[in-house]
Every structure is written in structure tokens, then in C-alpha cells.
Amino acid sequence: MTGLRKDFLWGGAVAAHQLEGGWQEGGKGISVADVMTAGANGVSREITDGVLPGKNYPNHEAIDFYHHYPEDIKLFAEMGFKCFRTSIAWTRIFPEGDEAEPNEAGLKFYDDLFDECHKYGIEPVITLSHFEIPFHLVKKYGGWRNRKMIEFFMKFATACFERFSGKVKYWMTFNEINNQTNYDSPFALMTNSGLTVDPSENMERLMYQASHFELVASALAVQKAHEIDPNNQVGCMIAMVPIYPLTAKPQDIMSAEKAMQARYWFADVHCNGRYPSWLPVHFKRENFNLDITEEDLDVLKAGTVDYIGFSYYMSACIKDNGNAPEYHYDEQNGQTTNPYLEHSEWGWAVDPEGLRYGMNWFNDRYNLPQFIVENGFGAIDKVGADGKVHDSYRIDYLRRHIEQMKLAVEIDGIDLMGYTPWGCIDLVSAGTGQMDKRYGFIYVDKNDAGEGTLKRSRKDSFDWYKEVIATNGEDL
Ligand code: BGP
């Protein structure tokens, strides 16, 4: 008997734009994900100004879940999934983002999808904004640099809470909201906040301003969800990448502490309902002059989350970057390779203990239930002579992480709601646009060039995960 809850939510996670396809079906509008080309290992994705002819946009078809979902949900049910995490494509509900009324065909698609899940006793777990802001809102309003986005987001969120009341109970507002602390990356700014880089603007300031509007929108959505249905549970979604000091040198320790603050203050606002003490000081010293009103601060206080949803793939480590005594907030600046860890083909440090560390970090600060809503190993799978993918490396990665997750529950006493490994069915990589960077238990016959039959098949990890669920994590 494991110490996991009896109703532990085992499942898998995806995001609408990475698997649905059907980019122009049911009245769907164009999202930021629809204007991102395919990258490759080491070649980053290009963000184009609209959909241009002759370019390869992998999200347009993805794995065509839009038409295949009954078959896919059936496979999830065969593995014993208790829940399924996906997102609602904002552009299916409000194609341009600023319409007065929601699009019925889009609402109906998700109604049918959620009914299909419930048919097998699978609970939908829904992210509202997962890297798929309507592109029109970027072009016309400048994305989350504009306060009006709060209103557009709330219309979208409210339409979802109202329509799916009784069908969806677990929600999250913004996927990996803290990724945008990497404000040197045009990709991170566009995916998270629909921001284009303008050389005349201070990008750090802009990141704080956009994040503030998102956090206000999130807090309003938490309140609205509770008002519409008191059974709703709304979480935040934080990318947890613990940042360790490289050595015991005090300056390394302090650098790591400051880097953690710079990356995780979002969780302070979501969970405590207020900014941590260092941030107003920082805003003032940098003369950021942000649009933060007293009323906003009240909203943040009143809209704290019910649980902490987070992704965990890897840890990072840092050494003193010579900025003492200020320890500048740029965590990139001192980041280095951890000599104790192995790395995936994409350079992601494999660190199962880091999961337990991150869970303790959250627990000590916020004392809220947690939900691991992403974890997994991206790899290039080879189909064997027997037609099957033998992905022992994936099983090994997941097993070692589940072991640590169990220690966090059984030894550290953390209240964990569930575990949904990322990309339970192969899908388009968010970061690279590749199809061949795979995470799934289910193989999808399609490659980076877009060739393949889209046929689904079970990998070795499929049978393994089925047994894990059947024994509530006992048999790994
Ligand atoms: C997270 C995102 C997901 C997902 C995952 C894996 O950052 O929330 O959308 O894609 O990472 O990343 P990638 O697809 O780049 O391998």
C-alpha cells in the first residue's frame, strides 16, 4: 500500500494547440501557436507575422486529435486514467478574442470531448491559457502589455466556467506563467504573453507589467469560478526548475536564493495573494513605474488559488555571477551545468530528487495541495522490428520520478492530488515544434517532415504505466 490518496488522480497531460490540429475547423481563429514554424534540434522556431505561404506550421494538423479524440480517450481509459489534463483553445471559444459572444461550435467541441472523458470516469483537468493566445489580440492590443486583456480573458474564462459547470472541476489559469522571467527570449514572451519585442521598450519592465495583468486576471478567474460553482478548484501552473548553488560558497548560495526568488515570485502572488517584499523595492530602484493599482492588490488578495499545479522536468544550478551584494535578478547569467547530473539529448538535466526538492520548497512556503501536472522525458523513439517502441529509458525516467514523488508524500507529508505525465500521447513539442521529440505512452506515426499515417500504437511504457495506475503506484 502506497501512501498516495485513494482517489489519486493518475492521468496524462497535453495542450490543445500541440495535439488538436483542426486549426481552421469549427470557426477557430488563429492563435500565436498557429504562427510558429517547425524548428528542429538546435534550430529555433520562427514566429511569423500571420500565417505565411510556403512555411511549415506543425500545430495546424498536429496529431489531429480534433478528429481522433474518441479513439485516443479510449486508449487513455485502457491505461486506467483517472484524469486527463488538456487546455481549451481560446481561439475556439473566442476566435479573435474580442468578440461579444462565444463561438458555439468551439464550446460544443469541448462539451463532446468532456462527455467522452466522463464516459470512462476520466476527470478533465483544464488549463485556460496554455501558450495559445488569439493572434488578433497580439496584433490589435499588443498582448498582455495591455490592461484590456484582463477583460478579454475574463470573458473567455467565464464562458468556460458557465458552459462546463458540472463537467469540469479542476482548472488552472496560465500555463507555466513564470517562464517569461526569461524575457531575453522572444519565444517565451510570445508564447506566455503575446508580446513582441520592441527595442525601445525595457523588456524586463514589460515582463513585470504583463505578468501583473495576468496575475490579476488569474485572481479574478479564481473568484469567478468559485462563484459559478463552489465545487470548482482552481490552481496556478508554475514551471518548477529548482536552481541549486553550484558550491557551498556563500555567494553561490545567495545567488541561488535570489534566482529562486526571481523565478518563483509568481507563486507568492498566486498563493499568498501579495508580492514578496523585494519586488516593490526592485520596481522602485529600476524606476519601472508599473500600472499596479490599489484595487488590483485587493483582487490579488481575494483570488488566491486552491492548489499548486506545476511542471517538473529538470533542475538548474548557478554560481555567483559577480554581482554581489545586489545579486542581480538575472538567473540566466550565472547558470551552469550540474556536474552530478546526466542530461537528455536536449540538454535537460535529469534529476529525480529535484522533484522532491521542489515539492518541499512549495510546501514549506504555501502549505497547499499540489498537483504534478507535467513531468516526462522527451526522446527520439525508434520503432522496433516487431513494430513496437521499446522505451525503457522513458520508463526508467518516470519510475525514478514517481519514487521521489512517493517519498514527498510518505516521508515529507505533502498533500499531492495527482500526477499527469506530459505528452501521454506523442504530440508537437512546444519548444522546438518537433514531432520527433516524443513523450508519449502512445506512439503516433508522424515525423518532423509531417509524413505518416497518424496511426496510434502502444509503446512498452503503455503497459508499464497501466500497471502503475492499477496498483496506485505500488508496482513500479
Ligand atoms: C512545458 C510546456 C508544454 C510542453 C513541455 C515539454 O514547458 O508546458 O507545453 O511542451 O514543456 O516541452 P517541449 O515540448 O519543448 O519538449
220 inside domain = yes
Pairwise CA distance, residues 210 & 213, whole Å: 5
pLDDT at position 278 is: 94
pLDDT at position 43 is: 82
pLDDT at position 90 is: 98
- Provide the ipTM: 0.98
Q: Which residues contact 160 (CB under 8 A, 6 or more apart)?
A: 88, 93, 110, 126, 128, 168
| Residue with cell string 500571420 | 50
Beta bridge partners of 31: 134
User: From the candidates 20, 123, 214, 374, which is the catalytic residue?
Assistant: 374
The single-letter DSSP state of residue 405 is H
340 inside domain = yes
Which domain covers residue 164, as residue numbers?
9-470
Residue 457, helix vs strand vs coil: strand
Pairwise CA distance, residues 249 & 22, whole Å: 53
Residues 224 and 154: beta-carbon distance below 8 Å: yes
Q: Closest residue (by CA) to atom 10 of ligand 1?
A: 430
Active site (annotated) includes residue 295: no
Residue 418, helix vs strand vs coil: strand
State how beta strands 335-336 and 316-318 pair: antiparallel
What angle in degrees, to the nearest 10, is found between the helix axes of 392-410 and 352-366? 30
Q: Within 10 Å of residue 258's Cβ, how many Cβ atoms?
A: 22
256 inside domain = yes
Residue 46 CA to ligand 1 center (angstroms) comes to 17
445 inside domain = yes
Torsion-angle region of 18 (φ positive above 0: left; ψ -120 to 50: alpha; else: beta): alpha
pLDDT at position 345 is: 85
Residues 280, 285, 244: CA angle, nearest 5 degrees? 70
pLDDT at position 320 is: 85
Residue 86, helix vs strand vs coil: strand
Pairwise CA distance, residues 73 & 79, whole Å: 10
pLDDT at position 326 is: 54
Pairwise CA distance, residues 378 & 348, whole Å: 9
230 inside domain = yes
The answer, yes or no, to whether any atom of ligand 1 lies below 6 A from the CB of 437, is yes
Query: Peptide bond before 53: cis, by omega within 30 degrees of 0?
Result: no
- Cα R_g (the chain), whole angstroms: 21
407 inside domain = yes
Helices then strands (H, E): number in the chain? 14, 15
Low-confidence residues of the chain, pLDDT below 50? 325, 328
Pairwise CA distance, residues 309 & 368, whole Å: 10
Percent of the chain at pLDDT above 70? 97
Active site (annotated) includes residue 204: no
Which CATH number belongs to the domain containing residue 116 in this structure? 3.20.20.80
pLDDT digits (tens, 9 = 90+) for 404-452: 999 999 999 999 999 999 999 999 999 999 999 999 999 999 999 999 9
pLDDT at position 107 is: 98
Total structural domains within the chain: 1
State how beta strands 342-343 and 349-350 pair: antiparallel
The answer, yes or no, to whether any atom of ligand 1 lies below 6 A from the CB of 311, is yes
Residue 432 CA to ligand 1 center (angstroms) comes to 9
The answer, yes or no, to whether any atom of ligand 1 lies below 6 A from the CB of 72, is no
Buried-state track 283-302, b at ≥16 Cβ within 10 A, e below 16 = beeeebebebeeebeebbee
476 inside domain = no
Record the cell numbers describing residue 41, joined without a space.
534540434
pLDDT digits (tens, 9 = 90+) for 247-301: 999 989 998 998 999 999 999 999 999 999 999 999 999 999 999 999 999 999 9
Residues 26 and 435: beta-carbon distance below 8 Å: no
The answer, yes or no, to whether any atom of ligand 1 lies below 6 A from the CB of 422, is yes
User: From the candidates 116, 176, 214, 331, which is the catalytic residue?
Assistant: 176
Beta bridge partners of 175: none
The DSSP code sequence of 135-175 is: HHHHHHH-GGGSTHHHHHHHHHHHHHHHHTBTTB-EEEEET
- Ligand 1 pocket test, candidate residues 191, 311, 348, 422, most atoms within 8 A of CB: 422
**The model's pTM:** 0.97
pLDDT at position 329 is: 52
